[in-house]
Amino acid sequence: MYVKRLVEGKIISAWKEYPAVIIAGPRRAGKTTLVKKIAEDTGATYVSMDEPDALLLFNKDIKEFSERYLGETAVIDEVQYGKDVGRKIKYLVDIEKKRLLLTGSSARAISTNVLSFLVGRAYWLTLFPFNLKEIAAAKIGKNVSTPEWERLTRTTLETGCYPEVVLSDPKMRKERIATIVRATVSKETTELANSDETTVWATMKAISATRGGPVAISTLSELVGESQSRIKRVLNAMEESFLILRVAPYTRNLAKSMRRQKKIYFVDPGVDAYMRRFADPDGVSMETLVLSELLKKGYRPYFWRTKGGAEVDFVVETEEGLVGIEVKLRAKRAVPRSVRSFVSKENPSAVYIVDGLGGSWEERVGRTTVEKIPVWELWARLPEVLGPYP
């Protein structure tokens, strides 16, 4: 079953304007399915660097590779596996005048080895697993009732957003997300970290144990029993393979913000659930889902916290101003004290209290409207951010 992705039109439009479009994103997010469909619709040739013969020829002779596999417009899937890939892609674009659609599952490898050779001539986009709108379209259709949204949200909290999980038999979903996590750790993260798999899994468990609050590298180091430098390397690899995101505290001095303790979230709620052995969803599960939706909209979220302990889960910067997002599994009909403190100190353009249940209400706090909305309405409330994964 093919599910049309919301980014599909953007990719095709960008490909008309740029000689190269680069799609990065986690393994099994649906990149191959998407680009094969685009190749079919546009008449482009398709080749995957997962094919040994294609990879061997790419590494040996880029001209012969081009003659055998590439048309004037072409898709090269998992391009990061090639040797000297940036220089060769630059040759194809600049000398042979190819129009290329490229994919890869490592943010660092794509950025360093490809994008740096195509400055000004490439459009970068990150394809994450399904967002809630895409899940609803795949499972239900256009007209989704509130009870259906609530059930869909619960299921997403339990097993996540990866396309093959969403589209599989309900009895197989936990096994599917487990397979994805294990494959990502063993085939992607461990290699990027230049580490043994045991240390990576121990770090994953330490992140799960400290989920929901700021955590110091020294704390993770003690939990895992490894040096801080090694833990930093593993965390970098996890982020580069799209397993986690480190969320910094919001301050107007971003350099200062980067030096403070960060929260660490798994990017997909299914990964979070797997690491908790599929225990019932809690408030941090909902935070993970909201984080996932923000990333798919193009935002780099922060959290907000005062020295006195007042906290708002996420803060994003929009053209209209600062927006606060307080996340609850089930929100009460009251504006939390921490939200009032946030409004008083930051004067945001809007604040949303987000949960997994239908129904909305709003209250004016100072000059800011605080509105309770269900998580599935968050997508429509925030403007889309254009450009690369931040």
Count of C-beta atoms within a 10 Å radius of residue 337: 9
What is the mean predicted confidence (pLDDT) over 313-340? 96
Residue 142: per-residue pLDDT = 85
122: Cβ–Cβ under 8 A, 6 or more apart, which residues?
18, 19, 20, 21, 22, 114, 115
Confidence of residue 390 (pLDDT cuts 50, 70, 90): very low
Angle at 68 between CA 65 and CA 73, to 5 degrees: 85
Q: Note the pLDDT tens digit of each residue in 148-196.
A: 999 999 999 999 999 999 999 999 999 999 999 999 999 899 999 999 9
Residue 106: per-residue pLDDT = 79
Q: Note the pLDDT tens digit of each residue in 251-287.
A: 876 666 556 899 999 999 999 999 999 999 999 999 9
For residue 146, give the amino acid letter: T
What is the mean predicted confidence (pLDDT) over 72-90? 95
Instruction: Enumerate domains of the chain plus CATH numbers.
Output: 8-126 (3.40.50.300), 131-390 (no CATH)
Q: pTM here?
A: 0.94
